Amino acid sequence: MTTYSAVRTTGIYCRPGCGAKPNAENVRTFEHPAAAEAAGYRACLRCRPYRVAGTVADEAPEIVCRAVRLIIDGVLDEGTEAALGARLGVSARHLRRMFHDHLGVTPDGFARSRRAHFARRMLDDTELPVADVAFASGFGSLRQFNRTMREVFRATPKELRARRRRADRLTADGGLLLRLPFTQPYDWPAVAAFLALRAIPGIESVVDGVYRRTVVVDGEPGMLELGPGGADHLLLRAHLPYWEGVIHVVARAARLSGVDFDPLTARTELSRDPVLGPLVAARPGVRVPGVWTPFEVAVRAAVGAAGAADLAVRYGVEIPGLGHGLTHVFPSPSTLAETAEPVADLAKAMAAGEDPQGMDPDAAAHFALRTGARDAFPAGDPAIRSAVRDLSAAPGRWQPWRSLATVHLMLRN
């Protein structure tokens, strides 16, 4: 977990490694940049904490992690803390208390900080007009955008853009090019290998270390390209019909690549295990990749990659000319719910906002693994069976971190 240092005498907070050297008695620490901002501190202009992924500690309670995922999905863009709490089965007061205890900020404050940080990166990295940046970052109006940026960064969006450095500017030959920050260690080749292993043909591909996939945003097709960028970021190139709400596209790409949660505690615990320890030591930057949509991974878990690809060809929209093996977008739950396919009941449930039911244990474990569960373990997966047998392992002792253990086992060769 990254710890942010705030200096009482200057009102500035920094990320680790910043060259500033304040007196220790003047320093406060925070586990998330949103907490530092809620306490009245502003981001350092030298180390620019908004460029670091503000991940949530993996030892945080599951309800906090679920709430964070929902916030990242945009539930507080127009909704309230009360509605978020009701969705999680707790009161808004209890949810705020848990956020304060574990993140140092309210759910609304967390969402506000995310939007502001994303907007600041877009002001640095792109040539999009300020108005487009506002709506791409999830703000409901230019007035709200300007007010928030002044509160968080003590400057207007136009002033912030004028301060950007020449090296910040990204050039793109088609599409919108954005940085996807992560905290070290992070092993993109391992994540890309896992995504290649689980890819649905026609929908996803990994070629020369770049992951590509088709997407649908508000009913319109697009394509994403995700690959290595620098020591602290991946590069995401988004080919989309419009930029409004692109913050949520980027957030889903972050979840897909596993950069949004740093498994520090899980990595530490598994490194002590006689079986998993050597695997963790060899690849400490392994993360648990997420999904673009839960429905897609539920179908893939239920019918396999070939079955999911067949459904995409028969019911998904074709997108010609993309190359890299990409041909279709994956059909929506409502589309497959109207078919006679074996996944129709699954599609109906998920179209209604329900969790998938009736999946066999291994399919359910795969679904849980990719959608954020810490302790999913598909024991019947051939790669896992082989690894456990070869290593004479006892998976029960890896609880509650078996999701990360599973990814290590799948990648061990």
Both structure tokens of 240 = 């989309």
Contact 380, 307 (CB under 8 A): no
- Residue 16's contacts (CB-CB under 8 Å, 6 or more residues apart) are 2, 3, 4, 5
- Angle, CA of 411, 190 and 186, to the nearest 5°: 130
Sign, CA dihedral 20-26-31-35, equals negative
Contact 139, 148 (CB under 8 A): yes
Distance separating alpha carbons of residues 156 and 261, to the nearest angstrom: 30
Sign, CA dihedral 312-235-123-291, equals positive
Side-chain half-sphere CA neighbours of 291 within 13 A: 20
Distance separating alpha carbons of residues 15 and 32, to the nearest angstrom: 10
Longest CA–CA separation in the chain, Å? 69
Give the active site residues: 14, 381
Cα 160 to chain centroid distance, Å, stands at: 26
Distance separating alpha carbons of residues 341 and 335, to the nearest angstrom: 11
Contact 48, 117 (CB under 8 A): no
With tokens 């591909």, the residue in question is 205
Distance separating alpha carbons of residues 273 and 383, to the nearest angstrom: 20
Runs of H (alpha helix) within 139-183: 142-153, 157-163
**The one-letter amino acid at 346:** L
Distance separating alpha carbons of residues 302 and 362, to the nearest angstrom: 9
Closest CA to 62 of 303, 270, 373: 373
With tokens 């090019």, the residue in question is 177
